[in-house]
Structure 1
């Protein structure tokens, strides 16, 4: 038997078996993780059939692009709005104002309405999303 003395020794490591082992471990990890995840049980409250006992007045103020104000769809000026809000607050102390600013409206018009509501102590909310939807 002849021994080949001209053969060069291997100076690299064959990583293919190590990659095979890594892939097998990855698959086992994925399978074990998905098998151990369980769904959450959520109890959603059911609505009652009874109407709400308290309903408070709501005024929707729209600040239009040209600076005009609409109160529940009717045009109104800022000077006319103050006594209207005071009268509504006198009728219902927990009344609210929903402020809806059109996309192209000047920010100053919205701030003027917010300042008025703060000065009168009126609850307010902002309607977000696209105007008119």
Structure 2
């Protein structure tokens, strides 16, 4: 919009250079709506077959503890059933006997992580530093 003076002596109209932005705003709003509608259509998931992890079996030392946890919260020390209260003295005695002893944890896949973490915490407090998980790749 051009603003002129209210002076009546100057009746001559001068051309003004201004941009009409209304059509530009209309075009931008239409493009915005188009992008809002088409953006969710462009995001699609791609199914990928990831490779299975494979490793060579570790050669275990003869002095190790096989500790198993089952999904019913039962615990086994080298195949012998134990309770959670018996773990701390057993771990301490094993570390006292052999400081380099390894703990091999074999947990069922439906065991709550709470039980595994509690057993690992008790073992670490007793002084076990070599703690590992045993997996069976043939059951996958």
Return the TM-score normalized by structure 2.
0.51
Q: 1:115 is paired with a residue of what secondary structure? A: helix
| Partners of 2:131 and 2:121 in 1: CA distance | 11
Q: Tell me the residue number matched to 1:76.
A: 82
Report the CA distance between 1:118 and its aligned residue: 1.6
C-alpha contact 1:101 1:131 (8 A) present in aligned 2: no
Change over 3 Å in CA distance of 1:131–1:114 after alignment to 2: farther
How many aligned residue pairs are there? 79
Matched, 1:66 2:69: no
Q: Tell me the residue number matched to 2:97.
A: 91
Larger radius of gyration: 2
What are the superposed Cα offsets for residues 62-118 of structure 1, whole Å, 9 maximum, x if unpaired?
111011100101000111111111111111111111011101111111111111112
| Partners of 2:96 and 2:81 in 1: CA distance | 22
Equivalent positions of 1:15-54 (< 5 A) are none
Matched, 1:124 2:131: yes
List gaps (5 residues or longer) in structure 2.
1-60
Matched, 1:105 2:111: yes
